[in-house]
Amino acid sequence: MKLFFDPIKAQPQAKPLDYCVAVDMQLEELLNAFLSSKEQEEATLEIINQFCSDPEIISYRADIIEDLTKNDELFDLFCELRSDLWELSLLYELKMFKNVPEMVTMKTFLIIERFTEIYQKFMAGAEKIDKKSLSTPIVKILSDTCSKEKRAELDKIVKDMGGLRASLETIGEIRLNRYFSRGQNIENSLIPKTEDVSMTKNIANICERLGIDTSEAYAPAIHQPREFSRPVFKALYTLYYDIFKNIDAFHESYKDVFDTAWLDLVKKLDAVIGFARIFREIAQKGFRSVKAEVAEKTDIADFYSLFLVKRGLAPDQVIYNDYVYGESSFFFITGPNAGGKTIFLSAVGLCQLFFQACGHVPARKAKIKIMKRMFTHFPVEEYNDNSGRLVEEQGRVERIFRDITDGQSLALFNETYSSTKADIAYKLSVELVDKVLEHDVSGLFVTHLHSLKDYAAETKSRPHCAGVLTALNDEKTGKRLYKIVPLSTQNSSFAKDILSKYDMTVEQMLERLKKKKEEDR
């Protein structure tokens, strides 16, 4: 039976992420914090690294993951299917089948027997699920699973197989282990029917009567038969020729029925289950997530960093921010140290990565522009001297601009050139951002160089200009607010203008904004 659904749909010829992105975004650490399965971590990371830019594929994945996130029965059904197919893959890869080529017909029977059990189980589960609230992709998967054509095909296989299993169970003192098809104890393929019968003695007697040499190479397999050896299988085949002849006939009829693509489905299920598990967990902790819309300009409302969730913060302890393209799509971020600039930067990056991997982001509302390329440039700390670090930083910047796609790239720079003198850092930063604007690159540049605000103002007359965001402090107490807001590059900050106009404190302004958003919901 051919595999008829794909929960991921990989994009052909997609350009993978630059290797630095996963490191700078700490993706392995993040996935490890949310996922208990190494296989799920690897599968989700692989999908993120593929950096899909096809809007139809992103939307398709988003629908499936939203259903898995919200529907417990569907989530459990997919998890069970993944587990069953993984066990089937173990059976398929048994070294016994490689060591005994004559068992190819037996392998066909055992694989199809177990596969039909898995398929019937999935079919039964699919029929129980209420499909009214499910997305089109999931409804199609479940409907196709239970189609009349597939049911008829399955019924015929099961009917032809039933007699074979019954005949195998009649084999005498030594019989085929039924656990073959259960994914349990699969290396121990022979068992005695009664406890007082010696398995080794029986095998030795069979081989002796048939004139099979059990010395030397085959001796270990005979004395401790943990799996079929070629002489053992030959002995059984000869003794029970009528039974194995029917197995051979089944193989000829059904050898092309099982599609090994079902085994490849395990990794794809690991990916969608992994993404769904992340968003299910943050929902259980009271955080919001949303299926983002594809848009020409990015507009993300009340987003937050998954690393804050990882640290154990509660929803009311997290500061939510907005990220909106206005006349600019590239921004400097300035402000006090430890004011939340890097957290904001990485949260924007994670939103882009998760959006293009699974269509969902940790935010209240989101419209996001699809990018074809994404780059990050975070400090590298292993250099003992600043000259070594500067050379490395320049090398990475040059590599970024070799791979840029004009108008469809996102670049995140975190304190780039901070290792060198201020005047040199300013010059190099201006040269960097000149190239960014020339190529219409979107993104953020966290910097301690306040003079870059003046440079941003000078870019206003260009076709593509730079904006400035700043991390707010409370004016009276100096307390970090971890709120990142637009800053006017002309005279004073955006926040100060608002506060002055309405005679408000920073905390009053934030409280009003919070109430307004709650009303909008």
What 3-state DSSP class applies to 62? Answer: helix
pLDDT above 90 covers a percentage of the chain that reads: 63
Closest CA to 331 of 234, 424, 464, 427: 464
Identify the bridge partners of residue 110 per DSSP, sorted by sequence position. Answer: none
Query: Which pLDDT score is estimated for 186?
Result: 36
DSSP assignment of 23-91:
HHTTHHHHHHHH-S-HHHHHHHHHHHHH----HHHHHHHHHHHHHHHH-HHHHHHHHHHHHHHHHHHHH
More confident call, 14 vs 466:
466
Closest CA to 85 of 270, 334, 227: 270
The yes-or-no verdict on residue 432 having pLDDT over 80 is: yes
The yes-or-no verdict on residue 198 having pLDDT over 70 is: no
The yes-or-no verdict on residue 253 having pLDDT over 80 is: yes
10 Å Cβ neighbour count for 200?
12
Query: Which pLDDT score is estimated for 222?
Result: 38
Kindly report the backbone phi and psi dihedral angles of residue 437, in degrees, each rounded to the nearest multiple of 5, phi listed first.
-70, -35
Query: Which pLDDT score is estimated for 57?
Result: 97
Query: Which pLDDT score is estimated for 195?
Result: 42
Closest CA to 445 of 427, 467, 423, 462: 467
Query: Which pLDDT score is estimated for 392?
Result: 85
Query: Which pLDDT score is estimated for 490?
Result: 35
Query: Which pLDDT score is estimated for 473?
Result: 85
Query: Within the chain, how many helices (H) and strands (E) appear?
Result: 21, 14
Distance CA 310, CA 28 (A): 13
Residues 321 and 299: beta-carbon distance below 8 Å: no
Query: Which pLDDT score is estimated for 36?
Result: 87
Distance CA 94, CA 114 (A): 14
Query: Which pLDDT score is estimated for 507?
Result: 66
Encode pLDDT of 397-415 as tens digits: 999 999 999 999 999 999 9
99-103, 115-119, 217-221: segment of lowest average pLDDT: 217-221
Rounded to 5°, angle at Cα 512 from 507 and 513 = 95
77-86, 201-210, 237-246: segment of lowest average pLDDT: 201-210
Q: Tokens 């010829």 appear where?
A: 13
The residues near 28 (Cβ < 8 Å, ≥ 6 apart) are: 22, 41, 45
Confidence band (pLDDT; 50, 70, 90) for 119? very high
What 3-state DSSP class applies to 466? Answer: strand
Distance CA 445, CA 115 (A): 53
Closest CA to 371 of 417, 422, 419, 406: 406
| pLDDT winner (highest mean) among 176-190, 224-238, 365-379 | 365-379
Helix axes 261-284, 27-34, angle to 10 degrees: 80
Confidence band (pLDDT; 50, 70, 90) for 332? very high
Residues 484 and 341: beta-carbon distance below 8 Å: yes
Give Cα 340 distance to the centre of its chain.
27
Query: Which pLDDT score is estimated for 176?
Result: 42
Identify the bridge partners of residue 174 per DSSP, sorted by sequence position. Answer: 192
Whole-angstrom CA distances from 167 to 70, 197, 242, 246, 247 are 46, 21, 10, 10, 10
10 Å Cβ neighbour count for 231?
20
Identify the bridge partners of residue 321 per DSSP, sorted by sequence position. Answer: 303
Q: Which domains does the chain have, with CATH numbers?
A: 288-520 (3.40.50.300)
More confident call, 188 vs 361:
361
Q: Per-residue pLDDT averaged across 138-153, rounded?
A: 93
Q: What does pLDDT average to over the chain? A: 85
Q: Per-residue pLDDT averaged across 369-375, rounded?
A: 96
Query: If you compute the radius of gyration of the chain from its CA atoms, what whole number of angstroms results?
Result: 31
More confident call, 104 vs 504:
104
Rounded to 5°, angle at Cα 160 from 187 and 250 = 60
Element (H, E) at 423: helix 422-438
Q: Per-residue pLDDT averaged across 48-55, rounded?
A: 96
| Token pair of 210 as six digits | 């048939």
Query: Which pLDDT score is estimated for 476?
Result: 76
Whole-angstrom CA distances from 313 to 60, 87, 505 are 32, 38, 26
Kindly report the backbone phi and psi dihedral angles of residue 141, in degrees, each rounded to the nearest multiple of 5, phi listed first.
-60, -50
The yes-or-no verdict on residue 183 having pLDDT over 70 is: no
Q: Per-residue pLDDT averaged across 251-276, rounded?
A: 95
Query: Which pLDDT score is estimated for 210?
Result: 55
Query: Which pLDDT score is estimated for 4?
Result: 87
Confidence band (pLDDT; 50, 70, 90) for 456? very high
Identify the bridge partners of residue 293 per DSSP, sorted by sequence position. Answer: 367
Encode pLDDT of 203-224 as tens digits: 555 555 555 554 443 334 333 3
Q: Tokens 């507009």 appear where?
A: 299
The yes-or-no verdict on residue 290 having pLDDT over 70 is: yes
Query: Which pLDDT score is estimated for 308?
Result: 96
The yes-or-no verdict on residue 520 having pLDDT over 90 is: no
| Token pair of 298 as six digits | 């990015």
The yes-or-no verdict on residue 197 having pLDDT over 50 is: no
Residues 150 and 142: beta-carbon distance below 8 Å: no
The count of residues in the chain is 521
More confident call, 497 vs 520:
520
Residues 231 and 212: beta-carbon distance below 8 Å: yes
Closest CA to 235 of 212, 260, 214, 269: 212
Confidence band (pLDDT; 50, 70, 90) for 166? confident
The yes-or-no verdict on residue 278 having pLDDT over 90 is: yes
Query: Which pLDDT score is estimated for 381?
Result: 61
CA-CA-CA-CA torsion for 308, 313, 316, 319, nearest 10 degrees? -30
| Token pair of 55 as six digits | 């809007």
Q: What is the DSSP letter of 53?
A: -
More confident call, 346 vs 488:
346
Scored b (16 or more CB within 10 A) or e, 247-267 reads bbebbeebeeebeeebbebbb
